[in-house]
Structures are given as structure tokens and as C-alpha cells.
Amino acid sequence: MNNSTQQSQVPLVLQAKGLIKRYGHVTALDGVDLELRQGEILAVIGDNGAGKSSLIKALSGAIVPDEGEILLDGKPVHFKSPIDARKQGIETVYQDLAVAPSMTIAENLFLGREILKPGILGTLFRALDKKKMLEDAIAHMQDLKIGIRSMKQPVETLSGGQRQGVAVARSAAFARHVVIMDEPTAALGVKEGNMVLELIRRVRDKGLPVILISHNMPHVFEIADRIHIQRLGRRAAVVNPKNIGMSDAVAVMTGAMKPEELGSEAHA
Amino acid sequence: MKKIFHQIATIPAAGAFLALAIACLFFSMQSDRFLSGQNFSLILQQVMVVGVMAIGQTLIILTAGIDLSCGMVMALSSIIMTKFFDAYGLNPYLSILCGLAVAMLFGWFNGMLVTRIKLPPFIVTLGTMNIAFAITQVYSGAQTVTNVPAALTFFGNTFHIGGTTLSYGTLLLVALYVFVWWFLRDTAPGRHVYAVGNSPEAARLTGIPTDRVLLWVYTIAGLFYGIAALLSVARTGVGDPQAGQTDNLDSITAVVLGGTSLFGGRGVVLGTLIGAVIVGVFRNGLTLMGVASVYQILVTGILVILAVATDQMSRKRG
Amino acid sequence: MKFQKTILAVALSGLTLSAYAAQPIIGLITKTETNPFFVKMKEGAEQSAKQLGAKLLTASGKSDGDNAGQVTAIENMVAAGAKAILITPSDSKAIVPAIKKAREQGVLVIALDSPTDPVDAADALFATDNFAAGILIGKYAKAAEAGKPLKIATLDLFPGHPVGIARHNGFLAGLGVQGITTKTTDLAKPAQVVCMGDSYGDQAKGQTVMENCLQKNPDINLVYTINEPAAAGAYKALQAAGKEKDVMIVSVDGGCDGVKNVKSGVIAATSQQYPLKMAAWGVKAGVNYAKTGKKVSGYVDTGVTLIATKKLAGVDSKDANFGINACWGTK
């Protein structure tokens, strides 16, 4: 407990308080809290039905919670759509959905946020400043050390890991506050998964806090600074991966062990 | 060799262009009347109505939709244009605007049904196709309108360049294609059309207003059908209620021959122009050879299957 | 090198073609490619072209009513150097501007089977006198029914088509209805006609129209149809209603399959026309124009014959076997 009062000096970027979401008789979120600190990777784990994805959807604006509040930099925010969340600087990387395969890397990076030409061509026809987009795309990819030969390649010619790289780079390029990653390594092989983990670290090192949702315990323990364990629509515990074994974390997640049974050093 | 094939297969309109080149070579060897500027001008005039309609069809197919109503909407629009002038003495330019507006209204209606009620485009346009046909027959009394003012036939007029007669309609056809080609390639709304066709979910998540994109695509497609109506009146000199009955399939044929994928998100509008011209070249060339026109339909059928097979292969590879 | 060869090939093919340049080129444009009526027409044109040493080009619209397809065919044939074009207009009015353009370039245009509107838009019309064809079956029906009160259903072509109007009105004039002439521009509807519908000359559509007519007026006793397929459809509907023995069907056309239905008694009488003759005569006129520069003009009647199973007093008719042998003209 000592530990946590000490660390709470670090400013909270994103905070959820008592979020409730019901679907008919089913309660997906039952008063869940979440805190994301500046410059950390917070992993969210939980069994199926624990409310993990509802929590993330609430934070990224994909669903509107029935009750509770979300604070961004201490100020309450209300997201009606993912676009609202994005306008507030929260970017989400989805598992495999958010790239357009036949379009180029540069186009995908700027999809929905294209850079327009100055003057009448830009305002009337919304003509693209392709040169600027290409330069910026190269800069963003270099920023995260993603090595890709040509930005004019269609995304469908890339490997799964490289595609995910494009999605991560897009979020990192536009996020001002938070990057949320929903199972970014689920569809990838070992080598590519590691590549994406490395990318996530670089995003954090740029100063952007990351919320990572994953089923992959080794990945979570390798990369997370803190782990939020979600159970039955609530937060069961927040643990420090350095001071807790993987099996204990899974035990708490599945209900085999009560959070209180963990040593105080395990909590974060 | 395999690599070269794959590279050709990935350039969307390359196959179409190759087919066109081979066809032209073949016909120039078969008939000494084929290879002339005059004859090519004629072919362009013959494909301009379906060609302009196929621009709208391309936009819709790029969003992974399809439009069966285009020919009937075109016929209705041409009847509105001619009959508003003929029956009510409306100013010919206003009549044209009314015709264009009705065509856009139909496009907009298609778009609303697709985006708001989430009906499949095939079903929506099957419905509006019949509605447009019925309105056309009722309103025209199934009678051809022959009293057509000069303003409506302007695009059928011709001028001479170095011994070749070109029609203004042909110029409009080419200009529209070049503009839409640029627009789809170099503007944000143009790229959004591809994004929506690629993956509507991905487009939505990246913040593209997918419904708005679809709605304007269907509406603008309607505008192109209206322009096609104007060209049809200009070409035939009449408002014909029986026009356009197979133009939906003809325009889809042009789009597919041009290498645009029926699954959406892939294709180049200039390919559609080539696709339309291929059909025209076969029709013209086979007639010059003295071969019955039914063989043109046979050849078109074979080419369509080849084009779709190429599309499938290039998708599998990707 | 390859390119040079191509040029050579192009040049050579040019030479071979120009060697035939003296051979007159005649174009035939039908409404569709598949309808037996037009197949027969094509047969006549081919025979005649072969005989006279002309080159025949053929084309058609995609479907009945496809004006744009016929316009394209005219343009392509003019481009191919045709001296004469024979055409069965799908849309009598809409085709006129294209015909005008072709004639301006010195091409002789002859309308076959259906007139253009106006008729003089083409140089000449080789066709059946459809009104006269109608009169023949009208007279036959009148003699057969001998003064019985008539309740008539007419299965017409489609709205506004002059051939449909001429046959329908001719039939009624033959029955003795007053005030109907060749000048009547709409389908006449005297009191005897209790039901009218468009069959599009199609068996299935004809059947539907007849079924609906029987719903409306179960006591119909005379049916006029635009052609034999429509008549066959009407017969089906009558059969289903158990009335095929009591109702008389008359028709126009005399197609090879159609006259067989006269023999089997489905159709009482039909007026047989001769499309083969229209095309054969058309080619002949075209070749003549190419050689001598002399144009045909005006209306040329290719004749009709009344084919009936039962001969009636005072009505001149031939039997079904004659019709089968002569169907649509054998030469």
C-alpha cells in the first residue's frame, strides 16, 4: 500500500470511476475503476466475460457507459463515438480491422486525416498533398524504427506484423494522450509478435501511455509496467508484474485466488 | 515469366488495355476500314452513353455495391428532359436541369436505402430499377418524344480535326473520365471511396463517415446517369422510353472488363473507359468483317470471365 | 521487324479487300437475332445476296425495342461501306435520325416489315399490309360466327406499335365494325371488344392476358391475337378454363410453327405473311441501286394469304398444308 501512495504522485492521464454498463439483464461493467499513469504501459487482463472489452470500448468511445465518469487529465470527458475519443487524443489500435488492404502505407497512415493541398484545390476538391503525406509517413515510420522500403506499397503486400506496425504507427502519430491497443499480437507469429512488443515500448518511450489488452500472459509480463486484472465487471486488483508470478495473476483473474491473498508487494 | 504475369495482373487496367490492343490489331488486319480516326471517333460515339453511365457504376462498385437501376434512371431522365420541353414548353436548359435532378434524386434514394435501412444495394437498385421503368412508361405513355430542341442535341454535334469528325459528347466523355480519375486518385473523398470499399469497418474506425461517403457516391452516380441521358438524347435525337434496358449489365460489363473488382476497393476508372471501348471495338470490328453481332456478345462474355478470373487471381496472391 | 510484318499484313489485307470492292455491300438489321421471323428474313437475304454476288452484313438489337443497338448497327454498316441497308425498326420514331444520317451519305435505306414514323423517313417500305391481313381474319371470323353476338378479346402487341394497331384495326374492320380505316391511329375499342391486353407477341404473356380476360369476361367467344405464339398462350388459358372448344382464335403471321397450330385446330385461321420475300426483294433492290444508282421508293406489298382449317363459303382461304409449305415464304 505504501508503494501505491508513493506512485500515485505520478499524474494520472486517464481515469475511469465506477463505470456501469448493462445490456438488458447482463451487467458487463459493474462499477469498474481504472487509472492510467503518465508514461506507463498498463496491461488489462481478464477472463472472457470479465468486461475487458466493454471497458476498453467505453474508454475508446465505442460504447457509452450507463453510469460513472471518465476523466482525461483530471477533466471529465464524454465520448459518443470513437471519433470523439480521437479528437481528445485517444487513439485505438484494433486487432486486425483498421487497415485498408489495397491502399498504400502512406494512405493508411493518414486515412480519415489526410493532409490537403493549400488553396482552392484543397478547399474545394479536398485534393491531397501527397508529397507532404509521403514525407510525414516516412518520418513517423522512422520515429518508431519501422523499416519498410516504400510507403507507396499497398498494405496487402506486407506481413501481418508489418501491417500491425502501420496501425501502431498511425495511432502513435496522432495520439496526444493515450494509445489503446486491443490484442495487437493475437494474430501474429512469435517473431512478429516480439517486433510489435518492441514497437509498443517505443511508443511508451516517446512519452505516450499505453493501455494494452492481451490474452498472451508472457507478452503482458514482458512489457507491462502494471497489470489491471478485470473480473466480473470490476477491477479485482492492479499488480506489479515484477513482484508477482504469472500463475498468481491468472489465479486472481479466474477467481481461484482472492486479491487479498496476494502479498502486499504484489499490488501496484 | 510468372513474375511478369503477376505484375501485369496487379496493374488494374493493364489486362484490359492489352485486350484492346490485340483486338485493334486483329481488326485492322481483317478490314481496311477499321484503322481510321473516323472509325474510332464513331466507336467512341457509340460507347459514350454506356461509358458515362459506367463512371457512376464504377464509383458504386468501388464501394463494393452495385447499381441495377442505372439504365432505367437514364431512360427516365431522358424522358423528363425531352418531355418537359415538349409538353410544357419549359426552357430547354431548365428541362436538362430537371432531368439531371431526377436522376440524382433516384441516386440519392438508392443511397438512403443502402445507408439508412442497410438494405443490400443489389435489392435496392432492383427495386428502383423497376420503379424508374414504370414511371418512364406511364409518364411517356410508352411514346417516343421526337420534338427535341437543339440545346438537348448539342453533344451530338460534331467538329473536324484533321479530317476526323469528333462529337462534343465524345469530348465530354473523355473529360469526365479524366476528372473522375484525378478525383479518385488525388483527393480525400476519392480515397475514402476506396477505403469504404476495402473495409467499411476499418474506414469507420479511422473516422471516415462511411454512410456519408456512400450517400454521395450513389447521388453522384445518379448525376452521371443524368448526363448519360443527355448524351443519349443527343445521339439518337429523341427521348426514348425503351432506352437503357440492358445498360445496367452493359455498364457493369465495362467496369469489370476495365479491371475493377466487384468486391470493391480496387480498380481504376480509366480501365472502365477501356472496358467500354473494348465492347464497342468488337461490335464495330465484327460488323466491318461481316460477322453477325451475336458473336460480339459471345466475345464479351468470354472477356468478362477472363477479367473476373484475373481479378480473383490477383486477390489470392495479395 | 515484327512491327513491319504487321504493317505488311495490314496492307495485304487491305489489298485483298479492295479486290472485292466491286462487290456491293448490303446490310440487314433486324430487331433481334433469334426470333424465327428474323431468322427467316436473314435466310431470304442470304439466298438473294449469294445469287446476286453481294456481300451481306447482318446485325440486330439486343432485344425488341433496343433502338440504340440498331443506331449503332446502322453507323457501323455505313462505316463498312454498305450501299443499302434493310432494317426492321424496333422503334419507328427513334430510329429516324440515324436513318436520315445514313441516307445523307448516299445509302439506300429500306424498312422491312415495320414502317418508320414518318413512313417516308426510309426510301421504301417492303412489308405486309397488316391492315389487309387483319381484314382477312376479321372476315373469316364474321363468316364463321354467322351473326352470333360477339364477345371479343384482343391480345395485342405493345402500346403504340403501328403493326399492332394495323392488325387489330384491320381485324375489326373485317368483322364489319364501322368507322375504322387504315388512318385510325389508336387501337379501336368497339363494344364487342370486351377485353384488351398487350401480349408482346409472347406465349407466356399471351397466356397471362387471356387468363385475366377470362376472369373479367368468362363468356368471351372470339379471340384475336397478334401472332401465333400469343395464340398458343391464349389456347393454354382457354384449355385451363375448359373453354377451348367454344372459343375461336384467329391470328396473323403464319410462322412455320404457327401454321402447325392451324392444322391441329388450335387456331381457326391466320393471315400468313412473307418475311423471306421482304428481305430477298430488299437485297435485290439494294444491289440494283449499287449497280445502276436507281432507288426504289414507296410501299411494296409482299402479300398475305389466309390460312384456315375449315373453308367457309364466300371467304377465300388456303389449307394448313399450303401454309406449312409456304411458311413465311420459301423463296
End position of a domain, from candidates A136, A153, A170: A153
Task: Show residues of chain B in contact with C186, CB under 8 Å.
Answer: none
CA angle A111, A116, A119 (to 5 degrees): 165
In a domain, B296, yes or no: no
User: Per-residue pLDDT for C159 more than 90?
Assistant: no
Query: Are the Cβ atoms of B287 and C67 closer than 8 angstroms?
Result: no
Q: Is C32 left (phi over 0), alpha (psi -120 to 50) or beta?
A: beta
- Put simply, the answer to whether B265 touches A97 (Cβ < 8 Å) is no
Cα–Cα distance for residue pair C17/A133, rounded to 1 Å: 58
**pLDDT at res. A240:** 93
Q: Which chains touch A (3 or more CB pairs under 8 A)?
A: B
Q: Is A147 on the interface with B (CB under 8 A)?
A: no
What are the cell numbers at A176?
496526444
pLDDT for the residue numbered B8: 57
Q: How many CB pairs under 8 A join B and C?
A: 112
Q: Are residues A131 and A257 in the same domain?
A: no
Which of the pair, A226 or C6, is modelled with greater confidence?
A226
Which of A83, A97, A113 minimises the CB distance to B201? A97
Record: contact A112-B201, CB cut-off 8 A: no
Tell me if B245 and C59 make a contact (CB, 8 A cut-off). Answer: no
Backbone region of residue A257 per phi and psi (left: phi > 0; alpha: psi in -120 to 50; beta: other values): beta
CB-based contact (8 Å) between B189 and chain A? yes
Q: Name the pLDDT band for C175 (thresholds 50, 70, 90).
A: very high
B191/A103 touch (CB, cutoff 8 Å), yes or no: yes
CA C42, CA C112: separation in Å to the nearest integer?
12
Distance from CA of C315 to the nearest CA of B (A): 37
Q: Where is average pLDDT lowest: A100-104, C31-35, C58-62, C137-141?
A: C31-35
- Same structural domain for residues A179 and A246? yes
Q: Which of A126-130, B21-25, B109-113, C201-205 has the lowest mean pLDDT?
A: C201-205
List pLDDT tens digits, range A3-59.
Answer: 444 455 678 999 999 999 999 889 999 999 999 999 999 999 999 889 988 999 999
Nearest-angstrom CA–CA distance, B267 and B255: 9
Residue type at C188 in one-letter notation = A
Burial C184-221 (b: 16+ CB within 10 A, else e): beebbeeeebbbbbbbbbbbebbbbbbbebbeeeeebb
Judge: A112–B203 Cβ closer than 8 Å, yes or no. yes
**Residue A128 to residue B191, Cβ atoms within 8 A:** yes
Residues of C in contact with B292 (CB under 8 A): 33, 58-60
Q: What is the CATH number of the domain that holds A171?
A: 3.40.50.300
Q: A162: closest CA among A133, A183, A193, A137?
A: A193
pLDDT exceeds cutoff 50 at B228:
yes
What phi-psi label fits residue A104: left (phi over 0), alpha (psi between -120 and 50 degrees) or beta? Answer: beta
Query: How far apart are the CA of B244 and the nearest CA of chain A, in angstroms?
Result: 32
Q: Which residues of B touch A85 (CB under 8 A)?
A: none
The answer to whether residues A92 and A225 belong to one domain is: yes
pLDDT digits (tens, 9 = 90+) for A164-194: 888 888 888 888 899 999 888 887 888 888 8
Query: Which residues, numbered 40 to 79 in chain A, qualify as contacts with chain B under a Cβ-Cβ cut-off of 8 Å?
Result: none
Place of cell 484503322: B35
Q: Name every chain B residue with its beta carbon within 8 A of the beta carbon of C9.
A: 29
- pLDDT score recorded for residue A97: 59
Q: What residue in A sits closest to B208 (Cα-Cα)?
A: A112
- Residue that wins the pLDDT comparison between B297 and B134: B134
Q: What angle do CA C273, C279, C284 make, to 5 degrees?
A: 130
Q: How many CA atoms lie within 13 A of B229 on its CB side?
A: 35
Nearest to B292 among C33, C62, C63 (CB): C33
- Same-domain check for residues A146 and A179: no
pLDDT band at B6 (very low <50, low <70, confident <90, very high): low
d(CA B183, nearest CA chain A) in Å: 8
- Outline where chain B has alpha helix (H): 2-10, 14-30, 37-62, 70-88, 92-115, 121-140, 150-153, 168-186, 188-198, 200-205, 210-236, 247-257, 269-289, 294-317
Q: What is the pLDDT of residue A96?
A: 62
Please tell me which of the candidates B183, B189, B205 has its beta carbon nearest to residue A97.
Answer: B205
Size of interface A-B (CB pairs under 8 A): 72
Q: Which of residues 152-191 of A touch B (CB under 8 A)?
A: 154, 156-157, 170
pLDDT tens, B125-158? 999 999 999 999 999 987 889 899 999 999 999 8
Q: Give dist(CA B189, CA B200) in Å, integer.
A: 14
Cis peptide leading into residue C229 (ω within 30°)? no
Chain B: partners with 3+ C-beta pairs within 8 Å: A, C
Nearest CA in chain A to B206: A112
The pLDDT, as a whole number, for residue A115 is 92
User: Rounded to an integer, what distance in angstroms lies between the CA atom of residue B4 and that of residue B127?
Assistant: 44
Q: Which residue of chain C has the CA closest to B246?
A: C62
Please tell me the predicted confidence (pLDDT) of residue C291.
93
- Determine whether the interchain pair A97/B202 forms a contact, defined as Cβ–Cβ distance below 8 Å: yes
Cα–Cα dist A177/A29, whole Å: 24
Report the alpha-carbon distance of residue C84 to residue C112 in Å, rounded.
13
CA–CA distance, B8 with C232 (Å, rounded to integer): 55
List the single residue in B186, B265, B266 with the smallest CB-CB distance to A127. B186
Q: Does B216 map to a domain?
A: yes
Does residue B237 sit at the C interface (CB-CB below 8 Å)? yes
Q: Which residues pair with A180 in a beta bridge?
A: A92, A211
* CA–CA dist C65, C200 (Å, integer): 11
In contact, C307 and C318? CB cutoff 8 Å = yes
Q: What percent of chain B has pLDDT over 70?
A: 94
Residues A37 and A80 in one domain: yes
pLDDT at A2: 44
pLDDT at residue C12, rounded to an integer? 43
Q: So what's the pLDDT on residue C17?
A: 43
Residue B76 lies in a domain: yes
Q: Does A76 lie in the same domain as A147?
A: no
Confirm whether B197 is domain-assigned: yes
For residue B258, is it within any domain?
A: no
A95 plus A186 within the same structural domain = yes
> Do B74 and B229 meet the contact criterion of CB atoms below 8 Å apart?
yes
pLDDT given for residue B155 in this prediction: 94
Chain B residues near residue C14 by CB distance under 8 angstroms: 32
Task: With CB atoms and an 8 Å threshold, state whether C79 touches B288.
Answer: yes
In the numeric block, which cell numbers belong to residue C108?
439506300
Is A134 in the same domain as A25? no
pLDDT of residue A78: 93
- DSSP-derived secondary structure for C146-199: TTPPP-EEEEE-STT-HHHHHHHHHHHHHHT-TT--TT--S----TTEEEEEE-
Q: Which of A60, A86, A88, A102 to mutate to test the interface with B (most CBs of B within 10 A)?
A: A102
Write the pLDDT tens digit of every residue in A49-98: 899 889 999 998 888 999 999 999 999 999 988 888 988 999 998 876 57
What is the pTM for the complete model shown?
Answer: 0.81
Confidence of residue C5 (pLDDT cuts 50, 70, 90): very low
Residue where a domain terminates, one of A93, A128, A153 = A153
Q: Which residues from chain A sit within 8 angstroms of residue B188, using beta carbons?
A: 114, 116, 126-128
Residues of chain B contacting residue A163, judged by C-beta atoms under 8 Å apart = none
C321, pLDDT greater than 50:
yes
Range of the domain at A29: 2-102+160-266
Pair A115, A229 in one domain: no
pLDDT of residue C161: 80
DSSP label of C318: B
The reply to whether residue B187 touches residue A127, judged by beta carbons under 8 angstroms, is: yes
What is the predicted pLDDT for the residue at A156?
A: 87
B261/chain A closest Cα distance in angstroms = 11
Same domain assignment for residues A82 and A110? no
Q: Who contacts B14 (Cβ-Cβ below 8 Å, separation ≥6)?
A: B8, B259
Q: Give me the domain span that covers residue B48.
A: 35-244
A62 and A148: one domain?
A: no
Mutation target among B179, B205, B216 for the A interface, most CBs of A within 10 A: B205
Distance CA C262, CA C319 (A): 9
Tell whether B267 is within 8 A of chain A (Cβ). Answer: no
> Which residues of B fall within a CB distance of 8 Å from A94?
205
Which pLDDT tens digit goes with each residue over A103-151? 999 999 998 889 999 988 888 889 999 999 999 999 888 888 887 778 8
In angstroms, what separates the C-alpha of B184 from chain A's closest C-alpha?
10
Q: What is the pLDDT of residue C295?
A: 94
Closest CA to A216 of A240, A179, A187: A187
> Does the distance separating the beta carbons of B288 and C73 come in below 8 Å?
no
Digit-coded pLDDT (tens) for C284-293? 999 999 999 9
Q: Contact B205/A92, CB-based, under 8 Å? A: yes
> Residue A117 gets which letter from DSSP?
P
Q: What is the pLDDT at residue B10?
A: 58
For residue B80, being part of any structural domain is answered with yes
Among B29, B238, B240, beta carbon nearest to C9: B29
pLDDT of B86 over the 90 cut:
yes
Q: How far apart are CA C215 and CA B109, in angstroms?
A: 38
Note whether A86 and A19 are same-domain residues.
Answer: yes
Q: Are B245 and C66 in contact (CB under 8 A)?
A: yes
In this prediction, residue C19 has a pLDDT band, given cuts at 50, 70 and 90, of very low
Q: How confident is the model at residue B5 (pLDDT cuts 50, 70, 90)?
A: low
Angle at the Cα of A223 from the Cα atoms of A218 and A226, rounded to 5 degrees: 100
For A:84-143, CB contacts with B below 8 A are: 86, 92, 94, 97-103, 107, 111-114, 116, 125-128, 130
* Chain C residue at shortest CA distance from B39: C79
Nearest to B284 among C10, C56, C76 (CB): C76
- Interface of chain C toward chain B, CB-CB under 8 angstroms: 6, 9-10, 13-14, 17-18, 33, 55-60, 62-63, 65-69, 71-73, 75-77, 79-81, 90-91, 93-94, 96-98, 158-160
Q: How many domains does chain A have?
A: 2
- Which domains does chain C possess? 19-128+275-296 (3.40.50.2300), 130-272+306-326 (3.40.50.2300)
Rounded to the nearest integer, the mean pLDDT of chain B is 90
pLDDT (tens digit per residue) in B254-293: 999 999 999 999 999 999 999 999 999 988 888 888 777 6
Domains in chain B: how many in total? 1
Q: Kindly state the average pLDDT of the residues A156-162.
A: 85
